[in-house]
Amino acid sequence: MMKNESNSENLIRWFDPRSRKVGTWAFILNRITALGLTLYLFMHLIVLGNLARGPEAYDSFIAFAKNPVFIFGEMLVIAAGLIHGLNGIRIALNSFGVGVRYQKQLFLGLMLVAVAGIAVFARSMVFGGH
């Protein structure tokens, strides 16, 4: 009984976002975006396979792609790509011993770049501007 209680307490603590360090957030973001991009890769291949069935399949996909839910999904892919890619560059640099002392600042700076990039993409996807 005692063992079960401490197990469930441990599980709850696992999902508790308080007092996590920046590095932990960076790891969590990297893993969530990595899983999201991998899921997207398979979905993308399935969609491409469907398009090859002919002009009707292509046209119906294009109609579906204009749906706001689809555009929101595309935004998530852009966000995941920017966050994972930019954070990935920091991880690669740090792995070679470059900028390790400033990894926190590097992470926060790169995430600001990611947010700016996401805003630029969102603007052109929603308003169609360049």
Q: What are phi and psi of 29, to 5 degrees?
A: -60, -45
Minimum Å gap between C-beta 92 and ligand HEM is 5
E strands present in 1-130: none
Q: Does 80 bind ligand HEM (CB under 6 A)?
A: no
Q: Should residue 84 be labelled a site residue for ligand HEM when binding is judged by CB under 6 A?
A: yes
Cβ of residue 108: shortest distance to ligand HEM, in angstroms? 17
**102/126 Cα distance (integer angstroms):** 36
**13: exposed, middle or buried (Cβ count in 10 Å: 0-12, 13-18, 19+):** exposed
38 binds ligand HEM (CB under 6 A): yes
| Helix, strand, coil share (%) of the chain residues, nearest 5 | 85, 0, 15
Binds ligand HEM by CB under 6 A, chosen from 30, 61, 73, 121: 30
Examine residue 117 and tell whether it contacts ligand HEM (CB under 6 A): no
Indicate whether 37 belongs to the interface with ligand HEM (CB under 6 A). yes
Residue nearest ligand HEM, CB atom distance? 88
